[in-house]
Structure 1
């Protein structure tokens, strides 16, 4: 049976839980969540859900600055193209594992756009130094 598409806020929680379970366990990016940010998923999940609901379902409920926490992390432990590439791989796998359709495709594309924008702001915006944009290898790894 084919997967359904993302249609409502209720579809986002299982997706986000699936993604964060994989991300927390990942040896490359997991420490950013568990050691650096010490993310309390239960407390943070409503805000993350607001973000994705606004991005994918156009709810307009997200009123926070999504960049600020990533900048704080980057200042404590630099985030690299490889980290963002891994985030995108895990995000795409989480989406593909549960959903299929136009909104699911938009979720994957939006995740990649967000990763590129965050990395660009962290490395090009004078906040963290370093090379700008994804290196070619990291760009290839986005879709691996």
Structure 2
């Protein structure tokens, strides 16, 4: 991870050219501009305050995201939910009866979208189900697809 201590902050800007006004927090990390918009001034103030406190405490800022190291998401420590579900089905596939395979697959088609966190960049429920259906089809065909 590339980090730097070269950080500068700008004042919060109010953007009014839209239906609802937004507030833009702007800062630079190693001379690269970063920004994040918020719906309320309070949220923008709180975010800018967090950035300022991190800089005041001497934290380094990540070059890619522009966030202090303490605000970065932790690295995943194990398999994702989708990887776990696929490995679970693969382990049971050859020893299960056909109806059990079908039941497991449909249970996962329902369960996985409900358990995956609703975060930015998350695939839509139908996309998740399509990925699971594809995995199910490739298992049914003996991995030929």
The answer to whether TM tops 0.5 is no
Which structure carries more relative contact order (alpha carbon 8 Å, separation 6+)?
1
Give 1 or 2 for the bigger CA radius of gyration: 2
Q: Shorter-chain TM-score: which interval?
A: 0.3 to 0.5
| TM-score w.r.t. length of structure 1 | 0.33
Q: Which structure has more strand as a fraction of its residues?
A: 2
| TM-score w.r.t. length of structure 2 | 0.33
